[in-house]
Structure 1
Amino acid sequence: MTSANPASSSATSAATAATAVAAPPAPAAGSRPGPALPRDAGARWRVLCIFSLGFLVSYVYRGVNLGFAPHLIREMGLSAADLGLLTSFYFLGFACAQIPAGLLLDRFGPRRTEAVLLLAAVAGALVFASAPGMAALAAGRLLIGIGVSVCLGAAIQALSIWFPPSRMPLLNGVVMAIGGLGAVVVGAPLAWLLSWTDWRTLSYGLAGLTLGMAALLWFAAPEAGGAGQQRLAEQLRGTWQVLRNERFLRVVPLALLNQGIFLSVQTLWVGAFLRDVAGQSPGQSARLVSVIGFAMMGGCVCAGWAARHLERAGLSLYAFAGLGMSGFIVVQCLIIAGVPLTPVLMWSAYGVFGSSGILAYAVLARGFPDALIGRATTALTLAVFLATFACQVGVGMVLDLWPVADGRYPARAHLVVWGGLVALQVAAAAWYALGRERGARAA
């Protein structure tokens, strides 16, 4: 059933930033010093572990249809367009919930907001598991997307409250890596489980797992900060301030394409590509899906570590994030060209560079005061998941323009789709590069 790297609530304080890099950057407009960090080290690490597990649950939902796809096609008679639409309902629900989720995070805090919303995911998993047809499947996916919509933003906000800004790139990489285990689970492990049971039973199991996660958050996670006091009108004005921010408009196009394309392929279409273009068997494809997941995990951690050290050496976070997302474009071009590299190496590179878009969250966070961090994070996530929804549906529609033979699409169909997506990313990279000097100074 179907990221992110923000700074802390005080990330924009020049005094705090001076401890993170050798040459302290100038504070961003509108920033202000954040509150003192909580001193309870045990509670800090409990926050990291529990909120990371919540993101892991959301990531399993994100990609589980990759393993369910053959069973849904056989049982429900779905076409490629149907499957893309069904899978993308998760992303649609996730995206539509982002603006209200940002308001809830900034009003009630991450612990309560995530624990309550996860109950919607429980309901969605139950609806999906018992669905008699396409409409109920789609409704279940939509509910799941709404229910886990805050898992990423809650983790980001909680860490920003409990940890100093100098640790944020690495810690958010750790969160993404733990969540990325979900991408590993929906590869070979899910294929093994489906050889023992069916997709409906596994969906019921996910509902129980999600209920347990909600209870863990409610009863075991420390309260990560107090509730906000702004009225709704003030919160909506803050959301508008985020959406029209110059840095937001400069960074978002490349970030949403990087993450949207990576997620849409990783969570659904990579299996068909490996089958139809690379000639991989189902077992080989499942193993490569897990390889991508492991590579993404490593990329998240390494990117966070490298960002901090390279910034000390003089390479801005803005430039480093742009280089990583541009590297993803290069890897896709190599795949399209059929460069004779081993599949494990090629798809590992795809996972590593596909994770680079998470650094965009840190780039954005430095331009906003701490009171807007929840909304800035969820606004970018909204853009990413709308892009993922569009990619999953669009890829299926384009593939259906070619005839199907023995359940396969022509290799040319996939290559046309990938070529079009690369062209969009090249245009977005050029737009991102135009803001490099200002972005680097601001970061």
Structure 2
Amino acid sequence: MTLAEPKVPTRSPLRHRVRGRILMLLCILYAVSYLDRTAISTAAPSIRADLHLSDTQFGLALAAYSLPYALLQVFGGWIGDRFGPRKVLSILAVAWGLSTLWTGLATGLLALGAARLMLGLSEGAAFPTATRAMSTWLPSDRRGYGQGVVHSAARLGAAIAPLIMAGLIATLGWRVGFVALGVLSVIWSIAWARRFRDRPQDDKRVSATELGELGTQHADEAPGTTSAVERRKVPWRRLVRRIAPVTLVDFCYGWMLWVYLTWLPSFFQDEYGLALAGFALFTSLVLSAGVLSDTLGGMLSDRLLARTRSLRTARRTNLVIGLAGSMLALIPSLLVHNLVVVTISLTLSFFFLELTNSVLWAIPMDIAPDHAGVASGLMNTGFGVAGIVSPIVFGFLIDQTGNWQLPFALSVALLAAGTLLSLRVDPRPLDPEPAPPSATPS
């Protein structure tokens, strides 16, 4: 059976709609989560010195975050689908807030690794569950844009984390920063529980016009009832087969992103002798490129979808341009030892890399909007596995060779592989399961 392309409606408004406020709450969630994740890279030199850790040991502590993060992606997405984003995200935000606070109390490798393990455990289900919320609240023509906006907020959190942590480290010490970030996560949890509802029709602020824009299934369902979507079984075999190429692309993307999030401050310190304020500033400059490109990638993909009416063209184009551009932009950093040139190279590489992020998260909603939590969990398992492998391998190669060229060269090779794998991605919706034959009376 031929897979049909979806009908693409005109662009749906976000202003003067409740969904716009929901998107803003999710933006804050993504920013806070990346503040929590990225702060440790800025604090890395202080933590390694205070806790007497080698690069390899610190890489193991970083990887402890990604082990449960990777393993819980699919299960976490299923939990979000089953129990709803309101309850699940409220609990998770409190849990990772406490884990972040625990990081600030660590006294050795074991305690630090345990804190990062708990953070990965609590954040593992967050983005798949948030994707389920967006699948319910955003019209199909806004999926790429919505994912772009929230991930731009995540990159904003990653970009300002070095500056915030550097200021706190210089004045109060690295431990205070993690305590403050933990409290911030708990505050968000309270706001989310108060303002969000799992179904738009259960929110009194949502008008009939907005429900109509979201789809007839939302308008027709009575409040308090279990929808057909919630009762529908997950088509595991077909879903895994279709998501698998996206997962592999996400691994290649994730490898490079983890390099930026975990090793960039140490790279600027080791290679160019920058002090705390210097490497924090240069790290922020590089990561700020993602604030623009995440939203831009989602907007370009949605507009290409509206123009071509082809999901394959709209999603694949962004993936190929983003990963290939990131690979080419990274090459000068292998050949030149100049702070300005290398910073420009890394910034351009990160800009192109992040053009792909919103598209990677939009594709699971395209393929299986009714099971967006599970589908995005399957996809983001690639990112989680990359988070396990990347910090350990990177730290090991640095310890063994004493230079950064080899791990960066490996990153170039993985970006090339991701570019080729992007051509195998098929984002079109799954065909519905054939209805079972009805029994005929004898």
Q: TM class by shorter-chain length? A: 0.7 to 0.9
Q: Give the Cα separation in 2 of the matches to 1:39 and 1:356.
A: 22
**Cα distance change on mapping 1:285 and 1:260 into 2, 3 Å:** same
* 1:172 paired residue number: 147
Instruction: Give 1:96 shift.
Output: 2.1
Q: Give the Cα separation in 1 of the matches to 2:21 and 2:429.
A: 35
Secondary structure of the residue aligned to 2:355 is: helix
Q: Give the Cα separation in 1 of the matches to 2:14 and 2:282.
A: 42
Instruction: Give 1:319 shift.
Output: 2.2
Answer yes or no: is the 8 Å Cα contact 2:8–2:306 preserved in 1: no
* 2:217 paired residue number: none
Instruction: Give 1:378 shift.
Output: 1.1
* 2:304 paired residue number: 310
Instruction: Give 1:134 shift.
Output: 1.3
State the Cα deviation string for residues 213-238 of structure 1 (Å, max 9, x = none). Answer: 11111112233468778899x86x54
Q: Give the Cα separation in 1 of the matches to 2:230 and 2:134.
A: 25
* Structure 1 stretch displaced more, 313-322 or 293-302: 313-322
**Cα distance change on mapping 1:309 and 1:216 into 2, 3 Å:** same
Answer yes or no: is the 8 Å Cα contact 1:316–1:440 preserved in 2: no
Q: What is the letter of the counterpart of residue 291 of structure 1?
A: L
Q: Percent of aligned pairs with the same residue?
A: 20
Answer yes or no: is the 8 Å Cα contact 1:56–1:180 preserved in 2: yes
Alignment of 1:367 with 2:367, yes or no, is yes
* 2:413 paired residue number: 423
* 1:24 paired residue number: none
Q: What is the letter of the counterpart of residue 181 of structure 2?
A: L
Alignment of 1:51 with 2:49, yes or no, is no
What are the equivalent positions in structure 2 for 1:204-215 lying under 5 Å apart?
A: 204-215=179-190
Answer yes or no: is the 8 Å Cα contact 1:259–1:355 preserved in 2: no
Instruction: Give 1:152 shift.
Output: 1.9
Instruction: Give 1:41 shift.
Output: 4.7
* 1:329 paired residue number: 327
Alignment of 1:141 with 2:94, yes or no, is no
Secondary structure of the residue aligned to 2:367 is: coil
Instruction: Give 1:328 shift.
Output: 1.1
State the Cα deviation string for residues 279-303 of structure 1 (Å, max 9, x = none). Answer: 5454332112111222101001111
Q: What is the letter of the counterpart of residue 178 of structure 1?
A: A
**Cα distance change on mapping 1:337 and 1:311 into 2, 3 Å:** farther
Q: Give the Cα separation in 2 of the matches to 1:157 and 1:273.
A: 37
**Cα distance change on mapping 1:281 and 1:384 into 2, 3 Å:** same
Secondary structure of the residue aligned to 1:372 is: helix
Instruction: Give 1:42 shift.
Output: 4.2
Instruction: Give 1:428 shift.
Output: 3.5
Alignment of 1:252 with 2:247, yes or no, is yes
Answer yes or no: is the 8 Å Cα contact 1:108–1:228 preserved in 2: no
What are the equivalent positions in structure 2 for 1:252-271 lying under 5 Å apart?
A: 252-262=247-257, 264-271=258-265
Alignment of 1:200 with 2:175, yes or no, is yes
Instruction: Give 1:276 shift.
Output: 3.5
Q: Pick from 156, 163, 170: which aligns with 1:188?
A: 163
* 1:272 paired residue number: 266
Q: What is the letter of the counterpart of residue 337 of structure 1?
A: L
* Structure 1 stretch displaced more, 311-320 or 211-220: 311-320
Q: Give the Cα separation in 1 of the matches to 2:172 and 2:141.
A: 46
* 1:4 paired residue number: none
Q: Pick from 77, 89, 97: which aligns with 2:72?
A: 97
* 1:393 paired residue number: 392
Q: Pick from 100, 121, 142: which aligns with 1:125?
A: 100
Question: After the TM superposition, which parts of structure 1 deviate over 6 Å for at least 4 consecutive aligned residues?
Answer: 37-40, 226-232, 438-442
State the Cα deviation string for residues 1-51 of structure 1 (Å, max 9, x = none). Answer: xxxxxxxxxxx9856x33259xxxxxxxxxxxxxxx999954212211112
State the Cα deviation string for residues 162-208 of structure 1 (Å, max 9, x = none). Answer: 12111221221111111222112222232112111112222222221
* 2:222 paired residue number: none
Q: Give the Cα separation in 1 of the matches to 2:109 and 2:360.
A: 36
What are the equivalent positions in structure 2 for 1:71-82 lying under 5 Å apart?
A: 71-82=46-57
Q: Give the Cα separation in 2 of the matches to 1:156 and 1:238.
A: 18
Instruction: Give 1:387 shift.
Output: 0.8
User: RMSD value over aligned CA atoms?
Assistant: 3.0
Q: Give the Cα separation in 2 of the matches to 1:441 and 1:227.
A: 23
Instruction: Give 1:240 shift.
Output: 4.4
Q: Give the Cα separation in 2 of the matches to 1:347 and 1:420.
A: 15
Instruction: Give 1:112 shift.
Output: 1.1
Answer yes or no: is the 8 Å Cα contact 2:75–2:125 preserved in 1: no
Structure 1-normalised TM-score? 0.81
**Cα distance change on mapping 1:51 and 1:172 into 2, 3 Å:** same
Q: Give the Cα separation in 1 of the matches to 2:307 and 2:5.
A: 18
Q: Give the Cα separation in 2 of the matches to 1:133 and 1:194.
A: 18
* 2:437 paired residue number: none
* 1:287 paired residue number: 281
* Structure 1 stretch displaced more, 166-175 or 73-82: 166-175
Q: What is the letter of the counterpart of residue 355 of structure 1?
A: E
State the Cα deviation string for residues 343-399 of structure 1 (Å, max 9, x = none). Answer: 55333312211213311232343222x222111111111211111221011111111
* 2:58 paired residue number: 83
Q: Give the Cα separation in 1 of the matches to 2:332 and 2:349.
A: 10
State the Cα deviation string for residues 288-331 of structure 1 (Å, max 9, x = none). Answer: 21112221010011111222223344453212222211111111
Answer yes or no: is the 8 Å Cα contact 1:291–1:347 preserved in 2: no
Q: Give the Cα separation in 1 of the matches to 2:414 and 2:289.
A: 24
Instruction: Give 1:260 shift.
Output: 2.6
**Cα distance change on mapping 1:401 and 1:378 into 2, 3 Å:** same
Secondary structure of the residue aligned to 1:186 is: helix
Q: Give the Cα separation in 2 of the matches to 1:193 and 1:39.
A: 37
Q: Give the Cα separation in 2 of the matches to 1:297 and 1:227.
A: 38
Q: Give the Cα separation in 2 of the matches to 1:313 and 1:46.
A: 28
* 2:293 paired residue number: 299
Q: Give the Cα separation in 1 of the matches to 2:4 and 2:28.
A: 30
Q: Give the Cα separation in 1 of the matches to 2:230 and 2:148.
A: 33
Instruction: Give 1:140 shift.
Output: 0.9
Q: Give the Cα separation in 2 of the matches to 1:162 and 1:231.
A: 15
Instruction: Give 1:122 shift.
Output: 2.8
Secondary structure of the residue aligned to 1:19 is: coil
Structure 2-normalised TM-score? 0.81
**Cα distance change on mapping 1:432 and 1:321 into 2, 3 Å:** closer
**Cα distance change on mapping 1:88 and 1:227 into 2, 3 Å:** farther
Q: Which has the larger radius of gyration?
A: 2
Answer yes or no: is the 8 Å Cα contact 2:93–2:122 preserved in 1: yes
Instruction: Give 1:59 shift.
Output: 0.6
**Cα distance change on mapping 1:166 and 1:231 into 2, 3 Å:** closer
* 1:221 paired residue number: 196
